Amino acid sequence: MHALTTSYWSADTSQPVLETTVGGVLRAAATAAPDRVAMIGGHPDPASRQRWTYAELLAEAEQAARALTRQFAPGERVAVWAHNLPEWIILEYAAGLAGLVLVTVNPALRPAELAYVLKQSGSVGIFLVPEYRSPMAKYLDEVRPDVPALREVVLLTEWQDFLGTAPTEAILPGVQPDDIAQIQYTSGTTGFPKGAELHHRGLTNNARFYAQRLGLQPGEVMVNPMPMFHTAGCAMGVLGACQSLATHVPVLAFEPGLVLELCESERSSVLAGVPTMMIAMLAHPDLNKRDLSALRVAVSGGSPVPADLVRQVEERLAVTFSIVFGTTECSPLVTQVKPDAPARQRAETLGTPLPQTEVKIADIPTGEPVAPGQVGELCARGYLVMRGYHDAPEVTAEAIDADGWYHTGDLAAMDAGGCLRIEGRVKDMIIRGGENIYPREIEDVLFGHPAVAEASVVGIPDPTWGEVVAAFVRPAPGQPQPPVEELRAHCREHLAPYKTPLHWIFVDEFPLTPSGKIQKFKLREEFVRERAV
């Protein structure tokens, strides 16, 4: 391709957008490879790991869909509140087949948060586990009086009983690719979460393009510890494996030792996980005891992936690394590094946009593409963009402009080859004495220090400079806390003086969103509160 003269990537139309649905891709897979293993439940006890062929998975999903038609009408919204059970995934397919909108709910929510999601989404039913790290059935009982539209409650522990209610004569509705398949609530760092309405076409095609770029082959195994309530779990993982005729292994709950054992026992080719998961697996004592020779590619995203982490994973697991970047609102992926890309591109960029995805790095005041290498706001356009935020037209209009561009709120740069780098969030950019500072650059430098496990950089209000730089550092396990003078010297070696953090705070852990992103606003608030005391 020719070198770009502006930070604009026109959509690659060499691969088509298919008119597919969540239920339709499962039917196609069951027709193409009925006897191939489609799913293995990633239970900690190997004796409890159930297996489904594609034919068996479709049969159970269709039975569940018929059961859904007894209680719900097409277009109604039904919530699922559970961890990574196989039944979660069967319900995902069943809802797709029955024309329902699945509202995915984080199992960590507390009563008030649960009530908000159920009310805002207008959910008329909920499938849940009675308990998972909190008394979920009890929480639901507490909030039911505040959610009058909720009329049906089904416990996933009684799944077989639910399947038994399916009328044999039920006829499943026709489902269209532009119908809404899911509402996923953004793990926003400020304000109330927003419910992104994701259509079948966006979810299925995005997952297919992702799996194709990974080179996922029929019969290969993908171990996936990403939560199902997030697009990385139920879209990239579930729908990507299905459209590749691969075997998907949802991990019941993330535990690094369990993920490594599953990779060994199931001969996994692909391992997915946010950076904090990758860091935990590298630090686990079982890492060197496991035969991971079947692994060929590791996938990570969801939060910034430090270049040194990429190199460590590639070296220690003997894989190539594929960084992905996206947002829930984009079904979710915008860009992805090709596993056969040059090593520096794999470690230091987000790769190029996926097929059928138009991208620009926009000047924030004008909206026009900036020059290659310059920082602006990442915007995306195409089949992948959500319908909008549920019941929030004004917020939708702020996110998707009149020309159809979705504004991600991420600061990014695009090089002349179309590879992207994220420099932070628009709202997280630090302006010190008129100089723009991008936290990601400083975080990458800090991660390169051997005594640093993770780092997060934020701007702190300052009467002289407007803002100054504060670094929150989690020391590497088993190592003493590094002296501030040493970290400061390390930064000065690689960065201009004005980018070197003024404040240094050591932490044992970071506040995280459900998708694994560090909540910088909480770090900033805590710092300001402590200084005010």
Helix (H) or strand (E) holding 414: strand 406-414
Give tens-digit pLDDT for 261-279.
999 999 999 999 988 899 9
Reply yes or no on whether the pLDDT at 190 is more than 60. Answer: no
Which pLDDT does position 479 carry in this prediction?
86
Which pLDDT does position 1 carry in this prediction?
66
Reply yes or no on whether the pLDDT at 295 is more than 70. Answer: yes
**Percent residues over pLDDT 70 in the chain:** 98
Which pLDDT does position 515 carry in this prediction?
67
Contact (Cβ atoms closer than 8 angstroms) between residue 401 and residue 388: no
For the segment 497-509, the average pLDDT, to the nearest whole number, is 93
Query: For the range 32-37, what are the long-range contacts, defined as Cβ-Cβ under 8 Å and sequence gap of 24 or more?
Result: 32/245, 33/218, 33/245, 36/218, 36/219, 36/245, 36/247, 37/247
For the segment 296-322, the average pLDDT, to the nearest whole number, is 94
Structural domains in the chain plus CATH codes = 8-414 (3.40.50.12780), 429-532 (3.30.300.30)
Reply yes or no on whether the pLDDT at 28 is more than 50. Answer: yes
CA 440, 382, 193, 367 dihedral sign is positive
Which pLDDT does position 533 carry in this prediction?
57
For the segment 6-33, the average pLDDT, to the nearest whole number, is 98
Which pLDDT does position 191 carry in this prediction?
54
Coil, strand or helix: which one is 236?
helix
pTM score, whole prediction? 0.86
Tokens standing for residue 89: 């995934």
Lowest mean per-residue pLDDT among 107-111, 313-317, 494-498 = 494-498
Coil, strand or helix: which one is 347?
helix
- CA 55 distance to own-chain centroid: 28
Reply yes or no on whether the pLDDT at 188 is more than 60. Answer: no
Which pLDDT does position 189 carry in this prediction?
42
Which pLDDT does position 134 carry in this prediction?
93
Which pLDDT does position 2 carry in this prediction?
81
Reply yes or no on whether the pLDDT at 40 is more than 50. Answer: yes
Contact (Cβ atoms closer than 8 angstroms) between residue 9 and residue 353: yes
Looking up tokens 């779990």 gives 233
Task: Decide: residue 248, CB within 10 A, 0-12 exposed, 13-18 middle, 19+ buried.
Answer: buried
Reply yes or no on whether the pLDDT at 425 is more than 70. Answer: yes
Which pLDDT does position 303 carry in this prediction?
75
Give tens-digit pLDDT for 364-418.
889 999 999 999 999 999 999 999 999 999 999 999 999 999 999 999 999 999 9
Dist CA 76 CA 151 (whole Å): 12
Coil, strand or helix: which one is 199?
strand
Q: Residues for the chain: how many in total? A: 533
Give tens-digit pLDDT for 448-483.
999 999 999 999 988 788 889 999 999 999 888 999
> What is the edge-to-edge ordering of all strands in the sheet holding 152-155?
152-155, 125-128, 77-81, 101-105, 180-185, 195-199, 388-389
Give tens-digit pLDDT for 59-83.
999 999 999 999 999 999 999 999 9
Mean of per-residue pLDDT scores for the chain: 94
Helix (H) or strand (E) holding 67: helix 54-71
